[in-house]
Each structure stands twice: as C-alpha cells, then as structure tokens.
Structure 1
C-alpha cells in the first residue's frame, strides 16, 4: 500500500506531494525518512512557530507505545516549541492511529 501524507482536515489531501508548498513537502520527506530508517509503520514531522522541524517514527515496545505524531510533538515541546504550524503523518496503514 503506498504512503499517503496526512494533512489537517482544513486542507485537501493532495494526490501528489509536488502539489504541496516547499515547506510542507519538506515535512513529508522528513516523515518518510524517519519511518524508513527504522522500518516503522508510521512516520511524522511537525513544524513549530519558528520554522524548526521535528521528525519521529512510531514506537512499539512491550512497555511503551507512541504514535509517530505523539513523539514528534513531544520532541518539539521538549525543544521549547509553544505552537505548531503544521504536521504530517505518513503511514503504510489504511487509517491513522486515533491516539495520535
């Protein structure tokens, strides 16, 4: 199943990442990279109020489970972000995890 970038509900989901702005396309690339590095089901990337980006992959351990989006947001908050401008989730699953 091909990856589909998830975008906020207010924006249409583009059929092609080339239809995204350069900044949003960068988030898709970062999310895909995070996912592929560890062969995770999901990858996510977020951009904060200063334009800094954070990427993460889903974590599934016996004692801890985090969605990629939860981990990307946690990374941004830990680095001092007070607001997020955009988020992208790429997944091989047919739906996104509701916990994220």
Structure 2
C-alpha cells in the first residue's frame, strides 16, 4: 500500500489582543482550524471569550486549515464585554443622589 503524503500549511497565529508575540505554526491542511488553538496557553483554551478571524472575517472552528486565505494569517480576537453604561448595566459611577436615597 502506498502512503498518501500529508500536505501542510504554514499559519501565523496573531495574538495582538493578548499582547503576546505571534505563533508560527505548520499544521496538516486537513485538520480543522480549532487545531490551531492547541498553540495557546492552557487556561485560555478553557475560555469562550475569543474567536478567530482571517482577513477580518470570523472563522468557523470546524473549517479545514486548507480553507484559510493565502496569507495564512489568523488572528485571535477577544469578544467585547457587555454591560455597563447605556444598556442599563451598572458602571460603578452612578449618581450620588441615587446612593443617598437608598
């Protein structure tokens, strides 16, 4: 039997939102994009407060690495935090008269 050659893809995982240097990875093209997350520190893997983008577009974690754009640049982005100011959430800067009327 002849073994099929595994094609690989060079990917740069940018971690700008975390103030970390980029990770340069070489991964098999057939693997899902979620495989790139193994290059991250373990505590971050347990968080759902991030997503991946390529050329500014969100990526499905199930998409194959082969579907990445030619640049091979993927960016880890942090989700925006909700609440506080303008949406009814507390900001910690409520007016003093509200405090005194409690």
TM-score of the superposition, structure 2-length normalised?
0.28
Based on CA coordinates, which of the two structures has the bigger radius of gyration? 2
Between 1 and 2, higher relative CO (CA 8 Å, sep ≥ 6) is seen in: 1
